Amino acid sequence: MNINWDAEKYTSDFSFVHQYGSGVAELIDAAAGSTVLDLGCGNGALSNVLHDKGYLVTGLDASKELLEIARSAYPGLAFIQGDAAGFSLPEPVDVVFSNAVFHWIDRERQPDMLSCVHRALKKNGQFVFEFGGYGNNRLIHDALAEVFSEHGYAYKVPFYFPTIGEYAALLEHAGFRVRYAVLFDRPTELKGENGLKDWISMFLKTPFSVIKDEAERETVRDQAAEHLRSALCQGGKWYADYVRLRMKAIRL
């Protein structure tokens, strides 16, 4: 994944990530007692939602720090460390679930991730997921590209935000049948009067690494937030222009 998590801050200030994830979990159609892998489980909050629905859940994440939080918050659940594009399970599961993870995985590594998921699922198993889709955070990235350029830097979006058509093709190529797909806007309220700047600091560490001076990084964040104020700040509240790609596919 293209990030080193600030695990505590992520859990305290960005809880909307898992709160919104409960909607995608409703696409799972499996009996209580079914086995579910929560791929990229982070702090385990959604693994626990799945556990409360009666599933036997295993959470997998690459981040030791987030897994520590997950294990201490939900000691009754199983969590394992692993790379989403390079893992294997001892036994195949009925369902693989994932929320807000796949945009962190480069396009080139998506086929590896999808083969891992295929191997991890039983035949006819369900693959249910949501992540950032085509156009996600476009206003934010466009504003940052403009401010970076004014400062003499190139801005590179460090995420993969595919269309339905592109991702359906990858799934079909990897041995899945697509059953459901929707791409929808989900403006997302950010916490606090510096909500957008805090979001940029939390999630956009990679593109900012080309700017060596912290004071200049702060100026760039300020200027980008000012560019975006009329579009993304209403009544003193900041919103991020999220677009979600939500899909369900069956392993052939």
**Interacting stretch for ligand BEZ, rule CB under 6 A, among 50-58, 83-91, 130-138, 141-149?**
130-138
Query: Please, are residues 116 and 102 in contact by the beta-carbon 8 Å criterion?
Result: no
Find tokens 């385990």 and name the residue: 44
Give min distance, CB of 130 to ligand BEZ, in A: 9
Residue type, 3: I
Query: Please, are residues 139 and 242 in contact by the beta-carbon 8 Å criterion?
Result: no
> Of these, 35, 98, 110, 136, which contacts ligand BEZ (CB under 6 A)?
136
Give min distance, CB of 156 to ligand BEZ, in A: 13
Per CB under 6 A, contacts with ligand BEZ among 182-241 are: 203
The site that binds ligand BEZ (CB under 6 A) totals a number of residues, namely 8
Query: Please, are residues 139 and 232 in contact by the beta-carbon 8 Å criterion?
Result: yes
Per CB under 6 A, contacts with ligand BEZ among 3-62 are: none
> Of these, 100, 105, 120, 183, which contacts ligand BEZ (CB under 6 A)?
100
Q: Output the residue with the shortest Cβ distance to ligand BEZ.
A: 132
Residue type, 217: R
> Of these, 79, 242, 247, 251, which contacts ligand BEZ (CB under 6 A)?
242
The alpha-helical segments, DSSP class H, found in the chain are 7-13, 16-25, 45-52, 64-73, 110-120, 138-150, 164-173, 195-203, 205-208, 214-232
Binding mask 150-169 for ligand BEZ (x = CB under 6 A): ---------x----------
**Interacting stretch for ligand BEZ, rule CB under 6 A, among 31-39, 120-128, 129-137, 231-239?**
129-137
Task: Pick the closer one to ligand BEZ by CB: 155 or 203.
Answer: 203
Among 37, 36, 38, 44, smallest CA distance to 7 is for 44
The answer to whether residue 246 forms part of the interface with ligand BEZ (CB under 6 A) is no
Task: Pick the closer one to ligand BEZ by CB: 125 or 159.
Answer: 159
Among 91, 112, 93, smallest CA distance to 102 is for 112
The answer to whether residue 103 forms part of the interface with ligand BEZ (CB under 6 A) is yes
Orientation of helix 164-173 relative to helix 110-120, angle to 10°: 50
Report residue 110 as tokens: 């998506």
Looking from the CA of 58 toward its CB, the CA atoms found within 13 Å total 19
What is the distance between the alpha carbons of residues 156 and 44, in angstroms, rounded to a whole number?
Answer: 30
> Of these, 132, 162, 195, 207, which contacts ligand BEZ (CB under 6 A)?
132
**Interacting stretch for ligand BEZ, rule CB under 6 A, among 52-60, 78-86, 131-139, 211-219?**
131-139
Residues that bind ligand BEZ (CB under 6 A): 100, 103, 132, 136-137, 159, 203, 242
